[in-house]
Amino acid sequence: MSDTPTPATVDLEMPTWMLLQIAVCGKMGDGELCESMRLWAIRECEGHGLKEVLSRNRAEHLVKMRKRIHNIVGSEGLAKMDGAIDDVMDKLKGAR
């Protein structure tokens, strides 16, 4: 064996639906590895011309998540969460 390190690349065949699932949902566990896989999947989707499909799937996923959250916390709770998110976004915009 040679002392020269082998490049750390792997060619991978993956069904499109699986790549989109990782890119949209991503959080199938905890920690950096899962986030890294999600970011990789997003780049792969965009690189393979799936940017519009990815955007549409993300929007659908967000709608489903909001419905689940609404079922748990109700309209008032969801409105409070939206208000808190808006406050944070305003602060971030002001920090620029």
Euclidean distance between CA atoms 58 and 69, whole angstroms: 16
Q: Which residue has the higher pLDDT, 63 or 27?
A: 63
Q: Which residue has the higher pLDDT, 84 or 1?
A: 84
In this predicted structure, what is the pLDDT of residue 19? 86
> What token pair was written down for 8?
């750390």
In this predicted structure, what is the pLDDT of residue 56? 95
Which of 8-12, 42-46, 90-94 shows the lowest mean pLDDT across its residues?
A: 8-12
**pTM of the prediction?**
0.64
Euclidean distance between CA atoms 30 and 38, whole angstroms: 12
Is the pLDDT at 5 greater than 80, yes or no?
A: no
- Give the pLDDT confidence of 32-91 residue by residue, as tens digits: 667 888 888 999 999 999 999 999 999 999 999 999 999 999 999 999 999 999 999 999
> What token pair was written down for 46?
């965009």
What residue segments make up the domains of the chain, in order of their start?
A: 16-94
Euclidean distance between CA atoms 43 and 80, whole angstroms: 33
Nearest Cα residue to 66 out of 58, 29, 14: 58
